[in-house]
């Protein structure tokens, strides 16, 4: 489904708008569900969901939890008790990409904002520093009441983040926080997640545990906190932190043509250094390492334990289901929406750094390594 090179969600959006304006869909009439729209249009549910979210943002529909989406009777907008006009009661969420977890951020935020009379507008920075910068400049000028930002990094666009703060414009970050800038953030407890995974590996008897991240440790606060949790666990168990077992900032070196060779070389080098477990910054990378380890003839977890982070759906559907850390994306989105509304409406609001609890998901990719296992690794 494609029309004049428009995004797929926009094609669905315009079709529904035309049907609403023409009277084909009447006030309070239920629209097709996300699933029905996706099946009819041959697109993913995320795409159809975004079309409905944008319709809601434009004030053309309203949504009832558990019931669906309904055409909204058009009303004259008036000033609210908070001094914010209904026409400007829009919160803009900037995400680096659109996937399952990002949809959960949207659901959590929109459910809360619905009840407060705000609309949620979604923007995609596509992991681009320049695109993120353009959105951060444009959105405040376009009348949005505030921004919920998932930053591409916590070392990028610092000048703009500072300007937004000093201009007293409402902003809340999710997933990451900016060190040294007193703006509100909602993140998972990444430190605890990093600590708990390392602790589990240590209790299984592993002492040579590598920490692997495709980006640099300082690039995102989330990665930095996971690494700090890993370090703290090793210290608590009186295991020295070996810099040779920290592998990071290599994403520019890997592509589809060399990934297998690159990862197998990395694994072989770590095995040579006596590593028996790898703690990985996110699930996608953990799965790549797990698959390549198995191709090398290594038994996971018998000869090598591997753990990820995020509890992405791929963690469940791999040769050896991945032990990982689950984040509550819906709750992060909901809390961010609550805090941005409080920031807009309350004169006494103070910046907060809120952490949402994580949950370790134990599967089959980590385990106790015996002396026989250690001996057999040397022969691989």
* The pLDDT of residue 347: 86
Per-residue pLDDT, averaged over 94-112, amounts to: 87
Residue 262 pLDDT exceeds 50: yes
Residue 370: predicted pLDDT: 66
Q: For the chain, which domains are there? A: 1-75 (1.10.10.10), 190-326+361-377 (3.40.50.2300)
pLDDT given for residue 100 in this prediction: 63
**Per-residue pLDDT reduced to its tens digit, 179-234:** 999 999 999 999 999 999 999 999 999 999 999 999 999 999 999 999 999 999 99
pLDDT category of residue 367 using cuts at 50, 70 and 90: very high
119-124/90-95 β-pairing: parallel
For residue range 55-81, list pLDDT tens digits in order.
887 778 887 877 889 888 764 333 344
For the purposes of burial, counting CB atoms within 10 Å of the CB of 370, is it exposed (0-12), middle (13-18) or buried (19 or more)? Answer: exposed
pLDDT in tens, 107-144: 999 999 999 999 999 999 999 999 999 999 999 998 89
Residue 374: per-residue pLDDT: 59
pLDDT band of residue 325 (cuts 50, 70, 90) is very high
Q: What is the pLDDT of residue 79?
A: 37
Rounded Cα–Cα distance for residues 354 and 227 (Å) = 19
How high is the mean pLDDT of the chain? 90
Q: Is the pLDDT of residue 85 over 50?
A: no
Quick check: 82 pLDDT over 50? no
Give the pLDDT score at 83: 44
């Amino acid at each position: 489904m494609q029309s004049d090179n428009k995004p797929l969600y926009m094609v669905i959006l315009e079709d529904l708008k035309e049907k609403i304006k023409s009277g084909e869909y009447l006030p309070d009439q239920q629209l097709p569900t996300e699933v029905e729209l996706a099946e009819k249009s041959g697109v993913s549910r995320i795409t159809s969901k975004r079309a409905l979210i944008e319709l809601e943002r434009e004030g053309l529909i309203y949504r009832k939890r558990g019931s669906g989406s309904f055409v909204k009777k058009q009303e004259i907008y008036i000033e609210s008790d908070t001094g914010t006009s209904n026409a400007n009661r829009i919160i803009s969420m900037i995400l680096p990409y659109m996937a399952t977890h990002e949809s959960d951020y949207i659901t959590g935020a929109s459910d809360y904002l619905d009840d407060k009379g705000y609309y949620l507008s979604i923007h995609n920075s596509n992991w681009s520093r320049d695109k993120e910068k353009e959105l951060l400049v444009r959105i405040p000028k376009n009348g949005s009441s505030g921004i919920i930002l998932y930053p591409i990094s916590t070392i990028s666009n610092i000048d703009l983040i500072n300007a937004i703060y000093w201009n007293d414009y409402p902003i809340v970050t999710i997933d990451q926080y900016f060190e040294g800038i007193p703006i509100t953030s909602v993140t998972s407890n990444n430190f605890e997640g990093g600590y708990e995974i390392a602790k589990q590996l240590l209790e299984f008897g592993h002492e040579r545990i590598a920490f692997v991240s495709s980006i640099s440790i300082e690039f995102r606060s989330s990665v930095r906190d996971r690494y700090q949790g890993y370090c703290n666990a090793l210290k608590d168990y009186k295991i020295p932190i070996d810099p040779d077992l920290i592998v990071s900032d290599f994403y520019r070196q890997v592509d589809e043509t060399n990934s297998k060779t690159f990862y197998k070389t990395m694994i072989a080098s770590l095995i040579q250094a006596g590593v028996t477990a790898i703690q990985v910054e996110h699930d996608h990378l953990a799965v790549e390492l797990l698959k390549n380890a198995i191709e090398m003839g290594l038994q996971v977890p018998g000869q090598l334990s591997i753990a990820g982070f995020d509890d992405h759906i791929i963690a469940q559907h791999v040769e050896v289901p991945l032990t990982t850390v689950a984040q509550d994306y819906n709750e992060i989105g909901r809390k961010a929406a609550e805090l941005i509304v409080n920031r807009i409406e309350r004169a006494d609001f103070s910046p907060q750094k809120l952490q949402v609890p994580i949950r370790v998901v134990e599967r089959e990719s980590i385990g106790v390594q015996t002396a026989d296992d250690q001996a057999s690794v040397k022969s691989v």
